[in-house]
A and B are shown apart, each in its own frame.
Chain A
Amino acid sequence: MSAPRKRLISAKAGERILAIAGWSAVWLVVAFIILPAVVVGISAFNDRAILSFPPQAWSTRWFARAFSYRDFSEGFRNGLIITAFASSIALVVGAGFAFALDRYSFRGKMALEAVLTSPLVIPHFTIGLGFLILAAQIHATRTFALVIVCHVVLVLPFVMRSVYVSLRNLDSRLELAAASLGARPGRALFTVTLPLLIPGLFSGWLFAAILSFNEFTASLFVTAQATQTLPVAMYNYVREYADPTLAALSVIYIVVTALVLTIANAFLGLGKVLNVEHVR
């Protein structure tokens, strides 16, 4: 009679140990995820012109410098232009391909899918270098077009995935219902299919925009002084200076991105409900 009871107790103790170990692991992982941001965030307020930790004296002057430094504001503006074009083009192209892959079967479908997702396995510097060599051939190394095309290629797989998943979740019977009610294919597309895909399209676009805006490796190859994006400008800055301006910029970056995502989430919340509803 005592043996099973003993086992019961030890099992309970084992469970507790496991629970503690499990939570410790979770907290450790969480800590490591946010640690860099916290360290950088604190360093941004260091009064001294070096990146040391922890700070001895406090100041917000590096935020002022981050805003006033010309390369940063130009990089920010360039980044916005490139991101807007790249993610929008990627959305249209990616949505088209996703639609084709979801709805039709054709020869070479697998190969097309592999090519379209290949930027996931080809290193960014390879893609950047490749575009740089190509652009040099036609003397287009200083153009926005080069950076935009490069970014389109880089973010395309993500946009495609996002739209593809939305299409998969779309109940095809909704389109059949529209057809049976007299909707020609074009009208069914605009009255039923697209309105239901909007959350997926928007999140695909947003994802692409964030990736494009933050992209550094390939951008380093394909940008020139006139077209350099914010991450490239930051890299160039850190080669010359070691003051906390970049830390201040990081804080601004995080705050702005978090704001954008919060707004987007509030907007997407509605769409998510729609998506969930017709997934059987």
Chain B
Amino acid sequence: MSAERIDPREPVSPAVSAPAADAAARVAGVQIDGVTKRFGDATALHEAWLKIADGEFMTLLGPSGCGKTTLLNLIAGFLEADGGEIFVGGRLMTETAPYDREIGVVFQNYALFPHMNVAKNVGYGLRMRGVGKREIDTRVAEALALVKLDGFGERKPRQLSGGQQQRVALARALVIRPKVLLLDEPFSALDKNLRGAMQVELKEIQRRLGVTTIFVTHDQSEALSMSDRIAVMSQGRIRQVGTPDEIYRRPLDPFVASFVGDVNVLPGRLERRIGETATVLIAEGRLSVSADTLEGIAPGAAVDLFVRPDAVRIAEGEGLVSGTVATHVYQGSHVDVLVDVAAARGGRVTVRVPGHGASTRWPVGTRVSLDFSPADAVAFASDVS
């Protein structure tokens, strides 16, 4: 049930987490076997292993330069791997040219052909396949209807808004009935409201068509809201693969914990480890957390406890740490109460309180005790960054 760490030394593809397990047992939509890519002396991708189930929505999430776009370009065939193999629908793709891969790509800037109208753009892939004119017209109309752009066929791309261009790019990629749909930061150029609407729409279209989708983004909330599973990447390595919930609640390393969502860090010390359980001492208390993430760490070593703001409660009685309310950040559906806690890294703990009563209940300057369930805390050796 726990998320899986990808071990590059083990040439067996990672086990798939619970919700997607059935899907992965079927034919893999995409399989990445130890793929490496170097640019000169720099290694952009270190032996990536990843298995994406047929019909799955997989997100490659990470900061810029983490290798996610490199991996996408390797799958599309725009780059050649220096090692490893890529399978799509069970077929080895490593030696296949991009024009024979049957992969749909939506680019960050959409890359619509400026000299063709919308219908010609969408029909391009069909013309390259020698599809008959009447069938092209039908399928282009269907694709445009799918993205709610009926009747836009005669427009030129420059006459469309960003969101509409996005839809055309999506229609153009889907009309060829690709084995895999690749999306490279497709929403980064859209404003926030439109982005939210497009996310929902893309997700619905993807689910309806059941097309295996690989989505690249640096936006963690986008990744959490859209994906069946997420592969978190950093510095050319896949750090963790799991469902959004696993990634969010059971991060396997401090990088994943801090990249995906806000986090509070409480420095402490590992007291002892018995089986699956580790006891950690922090400023005012002691708690037992999962030992999964502390393998090889000796008792007495410094560890950091990572706790999400929504897992922290302001305690009625005694808590695990205490501090003084410094300020409230009103967020509409919730309030972030920032508490000065001497024992916390950065001297602050963020507590996410649902509703809007937090500022009257705990005014600035109130001494509060903070508590959280050990199940919501993850411990990592503190020298690992």
Chain A residues packing against B (C-beta within 8 Å): 171, 173-174, 176-184, 187, 191-192, 195-196, 273-274, 277-278, 280
CB-nearest residue of chain A to B78: A176
Q: Which of B110-118, B201-209, B331-339 contacts A (4 or more CB under 8 A)?
A: B110-118
Query: B114 contacts A278, CB within 8 Å?
Result: yes
Query: B114 contacts A187, CB within 8 Å?
Result: no
Q: Which listed residue, B98, B109, B113, B158, touches A180 by the CB 8 Å rule? A: B98
Query: B113 contacts A192, CB within 8 Å?
Result: yes
- Chain A residues with Cβ below 8 Å from B113 are 174, 177-178, 192, 196
> In the complex, what's the smallest C-beta–C-beta distance from A181 to chain B, in angstroms?
4
Query: A178 contacts B124, CB within 8 Å?
Result: yes
Query: A171 contacts B115, CB within 8 Å?
Result: no
Chain B residues packing against A (C-beta within 8 Å): 76-78, 97-105, 107, 109, 111-115, 124-125, 128-129, 157-158, 172-173, 176
Query: A182 contacts B128, CB within 8 Å?
Result: yes
Query: B76 contacts A180, CB within 8 Å?
Result: yes
A151 to B128, CA, bound (A): 41
Q: What are 16 A-B residue pairs whose CB atoms fall within 8 Å in the complex? A: A173-B107, A176-B76, A176-B78, A177-B105, A179-B97, A179-B99, A180-B103, A180-B173, A181-B124, A181-B125, A181-B173, A182-B100, A182-B128, A184-B99, A274-B114, A278-B114
> In the complex, what's the smallest C-beta–C-beta distance from A171 to chain B, in angstroms?
6
Query: B107 contacts A196, CB within 8 Å?
Result: no
- Chain B residues with Cβ below 8 Å from A174 are 111, 113
> In the complex, what's the smallest C-beta–C-beta distance from A27 to chain B, in angstroms?
38
Query: A183 contacts B128, CB within 8 Å?
Result: yes
Query: B109 contacts A277, CB within 8 Å?
Result: no
A179 to B77, CA, bound (A): 9
Query: B99 contacts A182, CB within 8 Å?
Result: yes
A187 to B99, CA, bound (A): 11
Most buried by A among B97, B99, B158: B99
A274 to B115, CA, bound (A): 7
Query: A196 contacts B115, CB within 8 Å?
Result: yes
Main secondary structure of the interface of A (DSSP, over half): helix
- Chain B residues with Cβ below 8 Å from A181 are 99, 104, 124-125, 128, 172-173, 176
A192 to B100, CA, bound (A): 18
A158 to B23, CA, bound (A): 59
- Chain B residues with Cβ below 8 Å from A184 are 99, 128
- Chain B residues with Cβ below 8 Å from A176 are 76, 78, 98, 105, 107, 111
- Chain A residues with Cβ below 8 Å from B125 are 181-182
Query: A273 contacts B158, CB within 8 Å?
Result: yes
With contact pairs A180-B76, A195-B115 given, residues A280 and B99 touching in the complex (Cβ less than 8 Å): no
A181 to B102, CA, bound (A): 7
Query: A280 contacts B114, CB within 8 Å?
Result: no
A203 to B172, CA, bound (A): 32
- Chain A residues with Cβ below 8 Å from B102 are 182
A49 to B170, CA, bound (A): 73
Query: A180 contacts B99, CB within 8 Å?
Result: yes
- Chain B residues with Cβ below 8 Å from A173 are 107, 109, 111
- Chain B residues with Cβ below 8 Å from A191 are 124
The 6 closest A-B pairs by CB, nearest first: A181-B125, A182-B128, A173-B111, A177-B111, A179-B98, A180-B105
Query: B114 contacts A277, CB within 8 Å?
Result: yes
A192 to B111, CA, bound (A): 11
A181 to B124, CA, bound (A): 7
Q: Which listed residue, A171, A180, A273, A277, touches B101 by the CB 8 Å rule? A: A180
CB-nearest residue of chain B to A177: B111
> In the complex, what's the smallest C-beta–C-beta distance from B70 to chain A, in angstroms?
14
Most buried by B among A177, A273, A277, A278: A177
A279 to B58, CA, bound (A): 31
Query: A183 contacts B114, CB within 8 Å?
Result: no
Add 20 more A-B contacts to A181-B104, A280-B109 (CB < 8 A).
A171-B111, A173-B109, A174-B113, A176-B107, A176-B111, A177-B111, A177-B112, A177-B172, A178-B124, A179-B98, A180-B76, A180-B98, A180-B101, A182-B128, A183-B99, A187-B128, A196-B115, A273-B158, A274-B114, A278-B114
A196 to B115, CA, bound (A): 7
Most buried by B among A174, A196, A273: A174
A10 to B107, CA, bound (A): 56
- Chain B residues with Cβ below 8 Å from A187 are 128
CB-nearest residue of chain B to A176: B78
- Chain A residues with Cβ below 8 Å from B105 are 176-177, 180
With contact pairs A173-B109, A187-B128 given, residues A180 and B104 touching in the complex (Cβ less than 8 Å): yes
> In the complex, what's the smallest C-beta–C-beta distance from B289 to chain A, in angstroms?
46
CB-nearest residue of chain A to B184: A173
A177 to B108, CA, bound (A): 11
CB-nearest residue of chain B to A173: B111
> In the complex, what's the smallest C-beta–C-beta distance from A273 to chain B, in angstroms?
7
- Chain B residues with Cβ below 8 Å from A278 are 114
CB-nearest residue of chain A to B107: A173
